[in-house]
Structure 1
Amino acid sequence: MLTDLGLAYEIRLREVDESFPPTLRRAAVAEYLARHKAEAYRADLAPDELLLTADTIVCLGDEVLNKPADAEEARAMLGRLQGRAHQVYTGVCLLSGDGRPPMVFADETTVHFGPLSTEEIAFYVERYQPLDKAGAYGAQDWLGLVAIERLEGSYFNVMGLPTHRVWAALRALRQL
C-alpha cells in the first residue's frame, strides 16, 4: 500500500510483545499497540527518519479477537463472526527521529459478514493462513470475497492500514 501511495520506505522487522493492559477498549488497544511498536525502534531512528507502525485488531463488542492460537480457535472465531457485524480498528503511530512527539491515531471500520457454513469455515482455515490475522481472517483473501457483505469505513483499514489517514498525517507533518 505504501508503494501504491508513491512513498519511499524501508521495512525493518523486530519482535515486539503485543499484549496490552486489560482496561483498554477498542481503538485505545490499537493505538497502544502501534505506539508500543514504535517505541521499540525509537533509539535506532536517525534525526531525518520517520517511522510508521500500525496494529490492527478485530472487536466483537468490547472483546478483542486477537490472532488465533490454533486452527480450532480460528474456526471458533469465524463461527462467532459469521452472520454478524464487527469492528476493525487499526492504530497508527508516526514517530520522527528528530524528537517531536509521536502522532498516534486509529481508524474504525464496521464489517458486516454474511452467514458461513461450518464447511466454508473449515475450508478457509485449512487452505489459508488465519493464524497470523486478527479475527482469523483477511479481507483481501477468499473469506473476504465470500463473507463481507458490506463495509462502513475504509477497506484499506481492514487490510491493515488506513491509507487515507496516513496520507493526511504525512501531509500535516510536511513529509509529502
Structure 2
Amino acid sequence: MKLVLGSSSRDRKKCFERANLSFEIIPSNFDESMIINDDPIVLVKDLALKKARNVLQLWNDHYSKNKEPAIIIGADTMVFYDGKLIGKPKDKQDAFRIISNLSGQYHDIYTGVAIIQSETLQQEVFVDHSRIHFQQLEPSEIWDYLNLKDEFTGRAGAYSLRDRASLFIDEIQGSPTNVIGLPMAKLRRILKNFGVNLLNYNTE
C-alpha cells in the first residue's frame, strides 16, 4: 500500500527520508485561511483532516493507478506562544519579530496529523505537543540567522530544528520530530491500526 504524504514541507519530507520510507508526495491545495480557531489543538486537527481529505480526492482523481489503495497523511503545525498562534512568517522582517518574541522564552508546538485509507476510508486524527526553550538572542544574532539562509521561510515559528536553529534551542520537551513537523514515533504507532508497520515497510 502506498504511503502518500500530503505536504510540500521540506522538513516532513526529510522525516520520511531519514526513516528510509518509500512514499509519494502530493501537496494539498486546501486553502488554510478558510479555517479559523484560537484553540491550537482544534485548529491543527481540523487543518490536518481537511488537507488529508483534499489529497485523498487528488489521489483518486489524478494519481492512483487503477484505484490502488493508499494511506494518505495530512499534517499541520502551529507554534503557540503567549496565548497566540504563530504560523509561517510573511517575510524576513516578520521572521525577525517572531524570533525576537520567542527569544529566551518557552513556546509550544502542536502538530495535527490525519490519516485516511483511500479504499476503506478508515481515518484517525491525532495531535502531538512539544515544548521548546530558546536561548536569549541578541538582535544581531537573529539577523545573522535570518540573513545567511532562507531556512525561516515556510516554517511555523520561522525556524527549523533540523537546520541552524538547533544552535539556539537548548531544551525540548516531547517529540523532536514533532518540532520538525511530523511526530514520527506516534505516527508509527497509529499506522499499525491501518495494518502498516513502518519498521519493515516497503511498497513492493
Same fold? TM cut 0.5: yes
Stretch deviating more after TM superposition (12-21 or 34-43): 12-21
Q: Given the superposition, is the C-alpha separation of residues 20 and 150 from structure 1 closer, same or farther in structure 2, using an over 3 Å criterion?
A: farther
CA shift, 1:62, in A, is: 2.9
User: Distance in 2 between the 1:92 and 1:163 partners?
Assistant: 10
The TM-score normalised by the length of structure 2 is 0.80
Distance 2:41 2:22 in 1: 28
Q: Distance in 2 between the 1:37 and 1:132 partners?
A: 16
Whether 2:155 is the aligned partner of 1:141: answer no
For 2:24 and 2:176, the matched residues in 1 are separated by 24
RMSD (CA atoms) = 1.6
* Counterpart in the other structure of 1:128: 149
The amino acid across from 1:168 in the alignment is R
Which sections of structure 1, spanning at least 5 residues, go unmatched? none
Contact 1:34 1:55 in 2 (8 A): yes
Superposition map of 1:97-176 within 5 A = 97-129=118-150, 130-145=152-167, 147-176=168-197
Paired letter, 2:159: Y
- TM-score where L is the length of structure 1: 0.91
Is the alpha carbon distance of 1:22 and 1:11 closer, same or farther for their aligned partners in structure 2, counting shifts above 3 Å?
Answer: closer
Q: Distance in 1 between matches of 2:35 and 2:120?
A: 26
Show the counterpart of 2:90: 69
Match of 2:21 in 1: 7
> Which sits farther off after the overlay, 65-74 or 53-62?
53-62
AA at the equivalent of 2:190: A
Shift of 1:30: 1.4
The answer to whether the Cα contact below 8 Å between 2:37 and 2:43 also exists between their aligned partners in 1 is no
- 114-123 or 7-16, larger mean C-alpha shift: 7-16
Kindly indicate whether the alpha-carbon contact (under 8 Å) linking 1:85 and 1:113 is maintained by their aligned counterparts in 2.
Answer: yes
- Within the candidate set 72, 80, 87, 1:59 is matched to 80
- Which residue number in structure 1 is paired with residue 53 of structure 2? 39
- Structure 1 distance, partners of 2:83, 2:35, is 14
Cα pair 1:111 1:148 within 8 Å, conserved: yes
Quote the offset at 1:40 in angstroms. 0.9
SS of the equivalent of 1:131 reads coil
Q: 2:131 and 2:34 mapped to 1: Cα distance?
A: 22
Whether 2:63 is the aligned partner of 1:49: answer no
- Number of residue-to-residue matches in the alignment: 175
Structure 2, unaligned stretches of length 5 or more? 1-14, 61-66, 198-204
Pairing of 1:17-28 with structure 2 (within 5 A): 17-19=31-33, 21-28=35-42
Contact 1:51 1:94 in 2 (8 A): yes
